[in-house]
């Protein structure tokens, strides 16, 4: 395995206002990425306000004290940079990738909106419209839109926090008010509830100074205690189906609970390798049986997490196997095969070559994720926020490489022992 590429040179500190800072210098590139992560996401939305965390993310681009509406994009892009934001189950992240010439400008922009966005009735209504079209583009007007991340949680979990639609209902979005947005900012966007990460071609000493200059005077305020979103295990299997009038083929997603991604890291990573053992390429167990031998699905995948956040989610997480069936395919048969293969792994384990390949692929996948500076800054920030130490990311390749065949078999046995939630998409009109 390659040596950890980051970590030794990480600089971690906190400002007096509580903002945690991670610097990850990489002198090889004349580019820097800035990521600011706030410890609030879809799971923190109150009942009646589905989609609010994401709507609020949009409002953070509508201007702040010294930055008029539309100017954030203009400043970043006229510096030769790119930017975006995204809302996840447990965090909301804002990021810029900039030529090194614009590092201070990027820090200024993030600090200005950390002091407070300019939220007006007009901008709120405008962004409610924009979000409605975002949902139409990604969900309503697309075959398999939102599948399975909108379909599986209501079956796999029970609480409002874990089950509700993170894009939000139209009613909830349209009734959102400026006062609620201001209260949301006040509660969740305190500097001590955030992590700032800067990665790339930076000078550490100078960046420390710039960070202090721009973020140092953001007023400190109290941070809410994060609720525990864990739930008791399912008491029986669950199953639900929905019809998708645009979908040409049946689809399924089976989900199971997993160990706490934070508190039980090794068992959680063993589930990650288990997912690859089932569906990572031609030699994988389910690809062999379901696609090649028995022709029960046209494609199968397996992974951790509901939003592509395998390494960026807190408890409760999910283990998901999903796929598309040929017309008229039999979901029950597919699920039976999945159960059989899990049981086989639990009983017989895996061979040395399988283990070597799983470890190696997990390591190189992690490297690929870390090559883009924005991806690196985000993941370091998530580790700092959720695990209390960005440096743990550097150990991750080693952790994957030390997961044993027994641990993967134990993960398979654990999945077999848990109840399954099964979401199906039925194609065509009713």
Partner 1 sequence: MTVELSGTDIPALRPRRELSLPESAETTLPNGLTVIAVRRHSVPLVELRLRIPLVEVDPAGAALLAESLCTATASTSAVELTKRIQRMGGRLTAVVDADRLLVVGSALAAHLGDLLGILGEVLTGACYPEAEVAQRAGRLAGMLRIATTQPAHRALEALNRRLYGKHVYGRPSPSPDEVLSVTSEDLRALHADRVRATSACLVLVGDIDPEPALRAAGNALSGVDGGEVPRRHRPLPGDRATEAIEVLDAPGAVQSSVRLALPCAGFDAPDLAAADLANIVFGGVFSSRLASNIREHKGYTYSAKSTLVFPQAGAAIAVTADVATAVTAPAVLEIRYELGRMACTSVTTAEVDRAREYLLGVQRLGMATQSGLANLVSELAAHGLRLDWLAVHSDRLAEAGVAEVNEAAARYLAPAQAVIVVVGDAARVTSRLATLMPVV
Window 318-347: residues binding partner 1 (CB under 8 A):
324, 326
Among 242, 367, 388, 398, binds partner 1 (CB under 8 A): 367
Query: Which residues in the 29-48 window bind partner 1 by CB under 8 A?
Result: 29-31
**Distance, CA of 69 to CA of 71 (rounded, Å):** 5
Among 11, 134, 182, 266, binds partner 1 (CB under 8 A): 134
Number of residues that bind partner 1 (CB under 8 A): 82
Among 11, 104, 260, 389, binds partner 1 (CB under 8 A): 104
**At its nearest, how many Å lie between partner 1 and the CB of residue 159?**
29
**At its nearest, how many Å lie between partner 1 and the CB of residue 389?**
21
Please answer whether residues 346 and 416 qualify as being in contact, where contact means their C-beta atoms are separated by less than 8 angstroms: yes
Is 237 or 428 the residue whose CB approaches partner 1 more closely? 428
Question: Site mask, partner 1, residues 178-217, x = CB under 8 A?
Answer: ----------------------x-----------------
**Distance, CA of 210 to CA of 139 (rounded, Å):** 41
**At its nearest, how many Å lie between partner 1 and the CB of residue 20?**
23
**Distance, CA of 128 to CA of 130 (rounded, Å):** 5
Choose one: 77-85, 222-230, 262-270, 401-409; the region binding partner 1 (CB under 8 A). 77-85
Among 87, 127, 193, 322, binds partner 1 (CB under 8 A): 127
**At its nearest, how many Å lie between partner 1 and the CB of residue 310?**
17
Nearest to 415 by CA among 319, 284, 333: 319
Here the contacts of 327-336 (C-beta below 8 Å, separation 24 or greater) are: 327/248, 327/249, 327/250, 327/427, 328/250, 329/249, 329/250, 329/296, 329/297, 330/296, 331/250, 331/252, 331/422, 331/424, 333/296, 334/252, 334/290, 334/296, 334/297, 335/252, 335/254, 335/420, 335/422
Nearest to 231 by CA among 57, 13, 38, 419: 419
387 exposed, middle or buried (CB, 10 Å; 0-12, 13-18, 19+)? middle
Provide the β-strand partners of residue 31: 99
Q: Does 159 bind partner 1 (CB under 8 A)?
A: no
Choose one: 124-132, 178-186, 332-340, 343-351; the region binding partner 1 (CB under 8 A). 124-132
First to last CA, the chain: 52
Q: Does 169 bind partner 1 (CB under 8 A)?
A: no
Peptide bond into 26 cis (omega under 30): no
Is 29 or 212 the residue whose CB approaches partner 1 more closely? 29
Is 136 or 177 the residue whose CB approaches partner 1 more closely? 136
Q: Does 73 bind partner 1 (CB under 8 A)?
A: yes
**At its nearest, how many Å lie between partner 1 and the CB of residue 228?**
34
Among 9, 239, 243, 245, binds partner 1 (CB under 8 A): 245
Q: Does 291 bind partner 1 (CB under 8 A)?
A: yes
Cα-trace Rg, the chain:
22
Choose one: 13-21, 44-52, 293-301, 380-388; the region binding partner 1 (CB under 8 A). 293-301
Is 104 or 260 the residue whose CB approaches partner 1 more closely? 104
Query: Which residues in the 297-316 window bind partner 1 by CB under 8 A?
Result: 298-299
Please answer whether residues 297 and 290 qualify as being in contact, where contact means their C-beta atoms are separated by less than 8 angstroms: yes
Is 161 or 394 the residue whose CB approaches partner 1 more closely? 394
Question: Site mask, partner 1, residues 247-286, x = CB under 8 A?
Answer: xxx------------------------------xxxx---
Choose one: 137-145, 264-272, 312-320, 340-348; the region binding partner 1 (CB under 8 A). 137-145
Q: Does 156 bind partner 1 (CB under 8 A)?
A: no
Q: Does 364 bind partner 1 (CB under 8 A)?
A: yes
Is 61 or 256 the residue whose CB approaches partner 1 more closely? 61
**Distance, CA of 75 to CA of 105 (rounded, Å):** 8
Q: What is the DSSP string of 145-198?
A: TTTTTTTSHHHH--SHHHHS-TT--HHHHHT--HHHHHHHHHHH--GGGEEEEE
């Amino acid at each position: 395995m390659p040596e950890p590429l980051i970590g030794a040179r990480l600089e971690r500190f906190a400002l007096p206002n509580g903002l945690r800072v991670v610097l990850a210098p990489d002198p090889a590139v004349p580019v820097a990425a800035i990521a600011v992560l706030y410890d609030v996401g879809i799971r923190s939305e109150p009942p009646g306000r589905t989609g609010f965390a994401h709507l609020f993310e949009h409002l953070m681009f509508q201007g702040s004290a010294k930055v008029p509406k539309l100017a954030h994009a203009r400043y970043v892009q006229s510096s030769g940079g790119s930017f975006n934001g995204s809302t996840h189950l447990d965090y909301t992240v804002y990021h810029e990738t900039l030529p090194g010439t614009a590092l201070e400008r990027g820090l200024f922009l993030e600090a200005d909106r950390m002091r407070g966005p300019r939220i007006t009735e007009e901008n709120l209504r405008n962004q409610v419209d924009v979000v409605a079209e975002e949902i139409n583009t990604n969900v309503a007007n697309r075959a398999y839109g939102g599948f399975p991340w909108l379909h599986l949680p209501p079956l796999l979990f029970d609480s409002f926090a874990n089950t509700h639609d993170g894009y939000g209902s139209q009613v909830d979005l349209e009734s959102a008010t400026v006062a609620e947005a201001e209260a949301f900012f006040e509660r969740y966007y305190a500097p001590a509830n955030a992590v700032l990460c800067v990665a790339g071609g930076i000078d550490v000493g100078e960046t420390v100074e710039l960070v202090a200059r721009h973020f140092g005077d953001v007023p400190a305020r109290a941070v809410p205690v994060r609720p525990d979103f864990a739930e008791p295990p399912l008491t029986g299997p669950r199953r639900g189906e929905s019809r998708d009038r645009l979908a040409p083929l049946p689809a399924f997603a089976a989900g199971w609970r997993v160990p706490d991604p934070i508190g039980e890291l090794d068992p959680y990573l063993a589930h990650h390798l288990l997912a690859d053992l089932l569906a990572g390429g031609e030699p994988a167990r389910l690809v062999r049986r379901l696609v090649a031998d028995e022709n029960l699905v046209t494609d199968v995948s397996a992974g951790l997490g509901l939003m592509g956040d395998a390494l960026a989610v807190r408890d409760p997480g999910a283990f998901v196997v999903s796929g598309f069936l040929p017309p008229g395919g039999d979901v029950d048969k597919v699920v039976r095969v999945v159960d059989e293969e899990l049981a086989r792994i639990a009983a017989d384990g895996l061979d040395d070559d399988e283990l070597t390949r799983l470890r190696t692929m997990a390591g190189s996948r992690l490297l690929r994720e870390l090559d883009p500076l924005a991806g690196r800054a985000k993941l370091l920030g998530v580790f700092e926020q959720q695990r209390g130490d960005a440096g743990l990311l550097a150990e991750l390749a080693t952790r994957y490489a030390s997961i044993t065949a027994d641990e993967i078999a134990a993960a398979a046995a654990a999945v077999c022992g848990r109840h399954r939630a099964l979401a199906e998409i039925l194609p065509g009109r009713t």
